[in-house]
């Protein structure tokens, strides 16, 4: 049996990746940061809370990472932990740099010191392309990050490449475009929309305040994307891969899909609120997943329509349950 360690196990991707690795027969360990509230709701939602082993630790505390690697005896480490909300990265730029950027070096150092044969996955992002330099972004497109988050992730990406080249570590960087699910944090635009649509439909709200709805994103389903992470670590050689659908859609059209699903007109409820504009915007992202298709045999399985409908239905179900509980 193989052991895996996931940092960020309580996040959206951490939950789906745990589920996938359990299905593949792994013993799954997760790094869990100390918080004053319960962070296990996603593992709970998937019914796997008791199937994973949690080890306390923090990306900014290298001794806790060394401890987690020793306890887990992991042969694969998936680094998903991050301050991952772009908006917050302007109000907490230094925390974002320390967790999302330097945190990657902390875990790579822990691997280098303990056992450089451990395979490593870094959760890189399409935000590194930012102000896009090519209309479709691939592994060869130059980067131009537009937020403190994007800048921190670019550091994480290059330090991963550097440890691969300097120390021969099997370290891969997945450049993942936006991926969503019913487990997405409520601050991200898709979930903000699907939650609001459910509340409006059930008479609990009558408006949805958004920022730049002309922004375009290449959105996929998180459940599909975690499979690509695992596939990268099963390759003979480490590498960088773009994971995307190859389709881009405006926030406005994504809203339409969500409202249409419950027979409402988005125009009657969406209010543009400049409070949600960003100091520097990433206007459009569109990924080219050809390399992942050819080398990993990975393909996205879920359309944006199916994804948004899945999320609206999950939010409707959640809110109805809460109402029944009173």
Which of 62/244 has CB closer to ligand F7E?
244
Structure tokens, 123: 């959760």
**CA-based R_g, the chain, Å:** 19
Residues 85-144 that bind ligand NAP (CB under 6 A): 99, 123, 125
Q: Under a CB-based contact definition with an 8 Å cutoff, are residues 77 and 4 in contact? A: yes
Shortest distance, position 278 Cβ to ligand F7E, whole Å: 5
Q: Can residue 185 be called a binding residue for ligand NAP (CB under 6 A)?
A: yes
Q: Can residue 35 be called a binding residue for ligand NAP (CB under 6 A)?
A: yes
Q: One of 10, 125, 160, 302 is an active-site residue; which one?
A: 125
Structure tokens, 62: 């290298």
Q: Under a CB-based contact definition with an 8 Å cutoff, are residues 316 and 258 in contact? A: no
Residues 222-261 that bind ligand NAP (CB under 6 A): none
Shortest distance, position 273 Cβ to ligand F7E, whole Å: 8
Binding site for ligand F7E (CB under 6 A): 84, 86-87, 125-127, 177-178, 187-189, 192, 210-213, 215, 217, 251, 276, 278, 281-282
Length of the chain: 326
Q: Under a CB-based contact definition with an 8 Å cutoff, are residues 202 and 323 in contact? A: yes
Residue 185 contact among ligand NAP, ligand F7E, none, beta carbon within 5 to 8 Å by kind: ligand NAP
Residue 248 bears catalytic tag: no
What sections of the chain are H helices per DSSP?
12-23, 41-45, 62-72, 88-91, 93-96, 103-114, 148-167, 189-201, 222-233, 251-261, 290-291, 304-325
Residue 245 bears catalytic tag: no
Q: One of 76, 121, 127, 249 is an active-site residue; which one?
A: 127
CA distance 141 to 60: 30
Which of 121/201 has CB closer to ligand NAP?
121
Shortest distance, position 210 Cβ to ligand NAP, whole Å: 18
Tally Cβ neighbours within 10 Å of residue 28.
Answer: 26
260, 288, 297: which is closest to 137 by C-alpha? 288
Which of 125/172 has CB closer to ligand NAP?
125
Give residues in contact with ligand NAP (CB under 6 A): 7-8, 10-14, 31, 33, 35, 39, 58-60, 80-84, 99, 123, 125, 176, 178-179, 185
What residues are labeled active site? 125, 127, 149
């Amino acid at each position: 049996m193989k052991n895996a360690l996931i940092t960020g196990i309580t996040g959206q991707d951490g939950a789906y990746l745990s589920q996938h690795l359990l299905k593949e027969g792994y013993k799954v360990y997760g790094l869990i940061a100390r918080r004053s509230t319960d962070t296990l709701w996603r593992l709970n939602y998937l019914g796997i809370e008791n199937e994973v082993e949690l080890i306390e630790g923090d990306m900014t505390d290298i001794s806790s990472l060394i401890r987690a690697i020793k306890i887990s005896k992991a042969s694969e480490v998936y680094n998903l932990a991050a301050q991952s909300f772009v908006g917050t990265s302007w109000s907490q730029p230094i925390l974002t740099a320390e967790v999302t950027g330097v945190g990657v070096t902390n875990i790579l150092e822990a691997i280098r010191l303990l056992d450089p044969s451990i395979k490593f996955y870094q959760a890189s992002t399409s935000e590194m392309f930012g102000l896009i330099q090519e209309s479709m972004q691939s592994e060869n497109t130059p980067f131009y990050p537009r937020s403190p988050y994007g800048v921190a992730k670019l550091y994480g990406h290059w330090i991963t490449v550097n440890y691969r080249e300097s120390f021969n570590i099997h370290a891969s960087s997945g450049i993942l475009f936006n991926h969503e699910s019913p487990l997405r944090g409520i601050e991200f635009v898709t979930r903000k929309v699907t939650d609001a649509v459910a509340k409006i439909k059930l008479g609990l709200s009558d408006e949805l305040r958004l920022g730049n709805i002309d922004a375009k994103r290449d959105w996929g389903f998180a459940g599909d994307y975690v499979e690509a992470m695992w596939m990268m670590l099963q390759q003979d050689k480490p590498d960088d891969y773009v994971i995307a659908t190859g389709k881009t859609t405006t926030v406005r059209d994504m809203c339409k899909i969500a409202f249409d699903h419950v027979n409402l007109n988005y125009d009657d409820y969406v209010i543009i609120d400049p409070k949600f504009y960003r100091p520097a915007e990433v206007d459009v992202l569109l990924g080219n997943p050809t390399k992942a298709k050819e080398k990993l045999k990975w393909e996205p399985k879920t359309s944006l329509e199916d994804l948004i409908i899945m999320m609206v239905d999950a939010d409707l179900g959640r809110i109805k349950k809460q109402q029944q509980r009173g």
